[in-house]
């Protein structure tokens, strides 16, 4: 269903402000196999956060809240809040999916860690087009935060107030929430934008689906896929259909494709592959080779 004029106006204003704050492009480092699928099938693949390289994924923020408020662990509200959060964290059938982006372009560490040991590629996305396309998709598009004091966070202050007074309706920080489950849901959502400070050099942004099982995402399906000899649970997003609904163009999502510093791929053959595709042929002229001096 096409967006209304009001929805487009609200979206475009929000996107303009977002780009001013976060920049014109964001990068996704990946393998050439993944690039082939993205362009040929016009799909984004979001991986399960249960199998990502940060073993504290999603849990970190909630565990920090729990530990910093442990003096209230005998409090009935403490037990209720963290019981609900634990249920969300341990529901493996509903474990969220995510796709990582970074502000860092042609970055040595990103090449080695995420782009097939620098033989893959860096897809440079146009932030405006990407955010417009995802605005009404049901997915989240967040900046990731690393080194912060949990005691300065609004949820810490609200929880402390709640545990000490037992007041929910009178809690000024909770004016936007109607009940405990809605508040718990927001705490859970906040956990997606927090990672351990040891990952801070990645300058990550992420596209995520915290409640895929509950709400679903249009133009998507979950599949078990064999990747590098390991079966992974993947959420496939039909980006072409999503672009049509958002009134954007699939090709406009991409600013550039950078081939890794250890590339084995022929530029000519990659260009030939892209020119055979519909709806993204112009990308054949946007391929460059990394200037990163990795051996």
Query: So what's the pLDDT on residue 80?
Result: 95
As a whole number of angstroms, the distance between CA 43 and CA 240 comes to 7
Domain membership of residue 161 (yes or no) is: no
Q: How far apart are the first and last CA of the chain?
A: 49
Domain membership of residue 206 (yes or no) is: yes
| Residue 147 pLDDT > 90 | no
If one counts the domains in the chain, the total is: 1
- Is there a contact between 80 and 191 (Cβ–Cβ < 8 Å)? no
Give the whole-number percent of the chain exceeding pLDDT 70: 93
DSSP letters, 187-251, are: HHHHGGGB--GGGGGG-EEEEEETTHHHH--TTEEEEEEEETTEEEEEEEEEHHHHHHHHT--GG
The length of the chain is: 295
Domain membership of residue 104 (yes or no) is: yes
Domain membership of residue 182 (yes or no) is: no
Average pLDDT of span 142-166:
89
| Residue 148 pLDDT > 80 | no
Mean of all residue pLDDT scores within the chain: 90
Domain membership of residue 84 (yes or no) is: no
Query: So what's the pLDDT on residue 258?
Result: 98
Query: So what's the pLDDT on residue 50?
Result: 64
- What angle is formed at CA 9 by the lines to CA 7 and CA 12, rounded to 5 degrees? 105
pLDDT tens, 254-275? 999 999 999 999 999 999 999 9
Query: So what's the pLDDT on residue 91?
Result: 77
| Residue 184 pLDDT > 60 | yes
Domain membership of residue 66 (yes or no) is: no
Q: Report if pTM > 0.95.
A: no
| Residue 242 pLDDT > 60 | yes
pLDDT tens, 19-33? 999 999 999 999 999
Q: Residue 40's pLDDT band (boundaries 50, 70, 90)?
A: very high
Query: So what's the pLDDT on residue 93?
Result: 66
Domain membership of residue 219 (yes or no) is: yes
Average pLDDT of span 138-166:
89
Domain membership of residue 139 (yes or no) is: yes
Query: So what's the pLDDT on residue 178?
Result: 79
State how beta strands 287-289 and 254-259 pair.
parallel
| Residue 76 pLDDT > 80 | yes
Q: Tell which residue, 97, 120, 35, has the closest CA to residue 237.
A: 97
State the residue range of the domain holding 129: 5-58+96-148+194-289
| Residue 203 pLDDT > 70 | yes
Check residue 177 and report its DSSP letter.
-
């Amino acid at each position: 269903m096409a967006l209304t004029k009001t929805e487009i106006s609200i979206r475009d204003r929000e996107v303009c402000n977002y780009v001013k704050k976060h920049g014109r492009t964001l990068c996704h480092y990946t393998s050439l196999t993944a690039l082939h699928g993205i362009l040929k099938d016009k799909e984004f693949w979001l991986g399960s956060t249960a199998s990502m390289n940060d073993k504290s994924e999603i849990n970190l923020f909630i565990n920090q809240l729990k530990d910093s408020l442990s003096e209230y662990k005998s409090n009935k509200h403490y037990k209720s809040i963290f019981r609900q959060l634990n249920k969300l964290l341990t529901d493996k059938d509903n474990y969220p999916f995510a796709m990582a982006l970074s502000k860092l372009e042609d970055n040595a560490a990103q090449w080695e860690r995420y782009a097939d040991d620098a033989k893959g590629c860096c897809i440079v996305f146009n932030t405006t087009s990407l955010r417009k396309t995802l605005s009404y998709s049901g997915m989240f598009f967040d900046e990731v935060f690393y080194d912060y004091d949990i005691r300065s966070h609004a949820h810490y202050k609200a929880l402390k107030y709640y545990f000490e007074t037992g007041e929910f309706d009178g809690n000024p920080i909770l004016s936007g929430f109607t009940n405990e489950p809605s508040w718990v849901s927001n705490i859970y959502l906040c956990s997606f934008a927090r990672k351990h400070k040891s990952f801070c050099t990645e300058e990550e942004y992420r596209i995520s689906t915290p409640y895929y099982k509950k709400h679903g995402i249009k133009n998507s399906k979950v599949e078990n896929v064999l990747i590098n000899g390991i079966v992974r649970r993947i959420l496939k997003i039909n980006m072409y259909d999503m672009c049509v609904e958002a009134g954007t163009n699939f090709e406009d999502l991409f600013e550039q494709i950078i081939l890794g510093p250890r590339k084995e791929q022929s530029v000519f053959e990659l260009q030939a592959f892209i020119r055979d595709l519909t709806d993204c042929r112009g990308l054949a002229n946007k391929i460059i080779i990394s200037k990163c001096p990795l051996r």
